[in-house]
Structure formats: structure tokens, C-alpha cells
Structure 1
């Protein structure tokens, strides 16, 4: 009975397995593990990120390990990662956000202004 259970789990895992390989210079997302009560990357609990921003691959260590270029804010994190926590990043111009700094008043408030109208409807009662 145990042998059939193992066989069933192996066949399920084999179907979900995908061949993934990165080249030096590729950009990847890195998966992070969420832990209850721990704040990571500015978010806590349910709102915690699953993948964090694109990083560049510096070198391939072995078939399943890659060295990643990390920013200075992550200096305490080891920079070699297993392939299972890396996801390929496809660059997309829509990922770039329009960012303008807020103009704060002396009383630390700001005025909201719409950038553009996305939809318009006329309703009849």
C-alpha cells in the first residue's frame, strides 16, 4: 500500500516538474517564504510578497544553484540560491510605473488629482 502511494506521489510530482535553466545576465524573480508575525520587505503576514523584484544572475554555480546580484539593503542574505525559488522575469514596459513625488503641504497633507479618466458611463433612472 505504501509503495502505491509513493508511486502516485511521484507521478504527480513528475507531471508538475519543469525544466528550467537560466543564463548569466538573465533577470529573475526570487520567491520568499512567508512567516506569520514576521515583517519582510515592508509587508507583514497576509500582505507579504511572494516574489520580490527582478535580480540579475551573476553566475551558475552548479546545475541547480545560481549566484544572484543583491542590492546593499540585503547585505545579510547569502547570494547563492536554489533553482526552485527562482522564476524567470519577462521584461514588460507596462511594469514600469509612472512615479511622481508627492508635494506635501506644511501640515503634512497632500491633494489628490486624477491622472486620467479610465471609463465613462451615462446612467438613466
Structure 2
């Protein structure tokens, strides 16, 4: 009975190893090796952080996918880099390489145009003026066209 249990355990470990190898093979096909040098300019992809740091409103497909460009300060780990963000930014400045895209070209202009965030991580919107106003008759909903 002990021998039978050991055979079952050995078969389970073998099947688990085969499944892990197949998953690793699939993941490695999708992986792109990226490395950055200290001082390189990179764009930041902030999509996954929208739930907590950027307000979700409007058409997602029309929003910018990358922000920047920002300078790489140091390499934190094998696939993690720290970049120099503006002091007003509430986004953590350490990113995985999958969130970075190298800024190509010699005339890369550094911009600090990360969206402003409040204490709760919501996007701060400051309207310039109210252009138009209408009231819908169905439920007396007021709508404003804001610049």
C-alpha cells in the first residue's frame, strides 16, 4: 500500500512538472526581453494603474496609452527600473519592463505631463469655462458642456 501511494505521488509530481513546463514554454513565447541603461528616456504605460490612481471616465480607447518621456534613474532588479517622475506625481516610480517603452530619437523632449491626482488618487479636473447648458425633459437632468 505504501509503494502504491509512493507511485501515485511520483506520477502526480511528474504530471505537475509537465504542466509547469508547458506553461513556461507558452509564457516564454509571449515574452520580449527589454533592457534599459541608466539615463535612457522611456515612456510609461499606466493602464493597469487606472483603477486606483486615475479616474475611469470617458472612452478608454481615446486616452493616451503612454506618458512621458522620463529618465531611467537606476535598475532595481532584473526586470524592474526606477524612473524620475515629477514631484507632483502620485504614481510610484518603480516599474516593470513591460510597463516601459524606450523613447527613440535624439530630440526627446522631457515632459512632466502626468495627470494631476488628489489625495485619494482621483484625477483632478479644473474646468476653464461652461460653454453650454441644457435640461433634459425626461427626468429634469441638467447637462453642462465644459471646456
Same fold by TM (over 0.5)?
yes
Q: Which of 36, 45, 55 matches 2:60?
A: 45
What TM-score comes out, normalization by structure 1 length? 0.55
Q: Structure 2, unaligned stretches of length 5 or more?
A: 1-14, 110-147
After superposition, the C-alpha distances for 1:17-76 in whole angstroms (9 at most, x for unaligned) are 12111110001111111658x547xx75332211112110011111121110112331x2
Q: Based on CA coordinates, which of the two structures has the bigger radius of gyration?
A: 2
Q: Which residue of 2 aligns with 1:67?
A: 82
Q: Which residue of 2 aligns with 1:104?
A: none
What TM-score comes out, normalization by structure 2 length? 0.48
Q: 1:80, CA displacement in angstroms?
A: 1.2
Q: Hey, which of these two has a bigger chunk of helix by percent?
A: 2
Root-mean-square deviation (CA, aligned residues, Å) is 3.3
Q: Which residue of 1 aligns with 2:134?
A: none
Q: Distance in 1 between matches of 2:80 and 2:106?
A: 26
